[in-house]
Amino acid sequence: MASLGLALGGGGARGLAHIGVLKVLDEEDIVPAAITGCSMGSLVGGLYAYYGNARKVEETILQFISLPQFSKLGIEQFDDHTKKTNKGYFDQFFDYVGMRLQAVNTLNRLSFFDSDRTSDLYEMIPDVPIEQLGIKFSAIATDLNSGEEINFTRGSLRHAVRASSAIPGIFPPVRYGKYYLVDGSASESVPAGKVKEIGADRVLAVDVTRSLKIVDQPQNIFDILYRTEDITSFHLSMLRLREADLVIRPNVRQRSWTDFDHAAEIIAAGEAVAKENIAEIKKLEQRNAYLVEIEHFIKKLKGDV
């Protein structure tokens, strides 16, 4: 039996585009047999596997990011300080300095935000067993102790999503059994191959990786760290995406991972790219399973996967 799998990548606010893609699939009565998510992709994918309805996922997430406890986190302070704003020069300067002083003060801790400040973030995720969801689902996280990539297919949905989206240095690592986990993007930015482990024989990947632009020479250690992470994430994504049968890229790559105040536009970008590619998506869903298997075999012979 043909089984379409979705691989939903990480990207912070850019990952809200996954909601738009899922809304179009709902409209076209295309039901994925399996979903594997990483970081924001795990949050959106996990909620969809639970509700089975993209509009309900949209409603849940938009309602949450409008709450005071989310805005109080001040996630926007991690945005690129060179981004134009309506603030004056001195306001921008003190924001820039203040953020870095806070970062220095956290050097004796494991993350910028502590567990108490972040625990409420995941209350929107139902604390239900992954194996009981209506759609097969898994979430990717990375074990700091072993460096192992963990594909959670069982256990608490809430804990798995929290581990998968624990951005290193910003949110605290998550203890889960023998593991000490951070954001799955550290090892698997777009989990195209992992969704096959839970039953998919063909993969639609949604890539929301930030575009890799030419930038000015870094001026300090923070610029270097941010730039290095961008480069690593970009090249890792390109490698992992070779395992997908179809890749679609919402027009959000210029967005910051902190752009939650542009949620509506980002979701709309997901809808737009899904509609643009709906013929190819339907063709992939309906393709003969034996032909898909042959194509995968040829890819392996050519070294494409």
Annotation marks residue 39 as catalytic? yes
Mapped onto helix, strand or coil, the DSSP state of residue 245 is: coil
Q: How far is CA 40 from the centre of its chain?
A: 3
C-beta separation of 266 from 259 below 8 A: yes
C-beta separation of 265 from 254 below 8 A: no
Annotation marks residue 183 as catalytic? yes
* Phi and psi, residue 118, nearest 5°: -105, -15
As a whole number of angstroms, the distance between CA 263 and CA 76 comes to 13
As a whole number of angstroms, the distance between CA 22 and CA 20 comes to 5
Structure tokens at 247: 């890749």
- Provide the β-strand partners of residue 6: 35, 204
User: 293: which residues sit within 8 A by CB, 6+ positions away?
Assistant: 201
Which of 3, 39, 138, 256 is catalytic? The answer is 39
From the list 174, 177, 15, 169, the residue with the least C-alpha distance to 107 is 169
Contacts 24+ apart (CB under 8 A), 213-219: none
User: 165: which residues sit within 8 A by CB, 6+ positions away?
Assistant: 10, 39, 40, 42, 43, 171, 183, 184
From the list 141, 84, 130, 289, the residue with the least C-alpha distance to 201 is 289
Which of 42, 138, 183, 185 is catalytic? The answer is 183
Which residues are identified as catalytic?
A: 39, 183
